[in-house]
Amino acid sequence: MITCKNCKQALQPFIDRELSDDDIVQVREHLDACSTCLHLYDFEASLRRLVRVRCREQIAPDDLRTRIAACLAVEATRITKRPSV
């Protein structure tokens, strides 16, 4: 069984479905047993849904999209050129 601290750290990956099957089971079991963490999960999941809905309603201006795409391309190039450790 995981602790509240571990559960809180795992909430975002849990919501994003990025956890292993075993981790999902552990988080779900903790949420079933802990109303405090369940409340936090409900809040995070609701916030995520609200942002998703609102983002669909709002469209970024073309110049903003272009600037973001350029920044992402620069960052991708920087990461690719980073020396391996």
**pLDDT greater than 70 at residue 38:** yes
pLDDT value at residue 53: 86
Please answer whether residues 7 and 37 qualify as being in contact, where contact means their C-beta atoms are separated by less than 8 angstroms.
yes
pLDDT value at residue 74: 94
Enumerate the domain spans of the chain: 4-81
pLDDT in tens, 44-83: 999 999 988 887 777 888 999 999 999 999 999 988 877 7
Residue 28's Cβ-count burial label (10 Å; 0-12, 13-18, 19+) is: middle
